[in-house]
Amino acid sequence: MASNLKNLSDHNTQSIPSAVDMRFGIVVSEWNSEITNSLLRGATNTILASGAKESNILISYVPGSFELPHGAQLLIESDEVDAVICLGCIIQGETRHFEFICKAVAEGIMNLGLDYNIPVIFGVLTTNTLEQAIDRSGGKHGNKGVEAAVSAIKMIDLQKDFE
């Protein structure tokens, strides 16, 4: 596993475009909130450090990861956002429920981006254990929220290149 080797959130801050004029929607799952709140802190801190105004970050909460695509759609349709970041945490259990939820959430998020022509970022941890989730939400392997924010900023910048 690549995460055994390094902090996956390490990035060159010089390679991140300015987010000064960008507006972000962030949809956060309330399920596994100790993890998702850490992802949210990582995402918002990264966006703010890239120059965005706090007033240009709109945060909405949904009950679980399965509801992330619908929450993102509501944000896209009701507010002027340049990108939506979806933050959640799905931890493997003893049933196939994990597989169904992961597949549905990933496809839902991908389809929103394509249907609305807006970056919709998959910031969802899909881990085998709580320990792995902790390691990827600010622990020894970084913070997926940071990575999702960097992706959103870069994708907004890329999209502006084609306008």
Of the pLDDT bands very low, low, confident and very high (cuts 50, 70, 90), residue 1 is very low
pLDDT score at 7: 60
Q: Which residue has the tokens 């799905």?
A: 90
pLDDT tens-place string over residues 56-83: 999 999 999 999 999 999 999 987 899 9
DSSP string, 106-161: HHHHHHHHHHHTS-EEEEEEEESSHHHHHHTEEETTEEHHHHHHHHHHHHHHHHHH
For 5, 71, 105, the CA distances from 109, given in Å and listed in that order, are 28, 10, 6
C-alpha 11: how far from chain center:
16
High-pLDDT (> 90) share of the chain, %: 76
Residue 121 clears pLDDT 70, i.e. is over it: yes
The domain made up of 22-161 is a member of CATH 3.60.15.10? no
Residue 9 clears pLDDT 60, i.e. is over it: no
Residue 14 clears pLDDT 90, i.e. is over it: no
Who wins on pLDDT, 48 or 139?
A: 48
Residue 10 clears pLDDT 80, i.e. is over it: no
Catalytic residues, by residue number, are 97
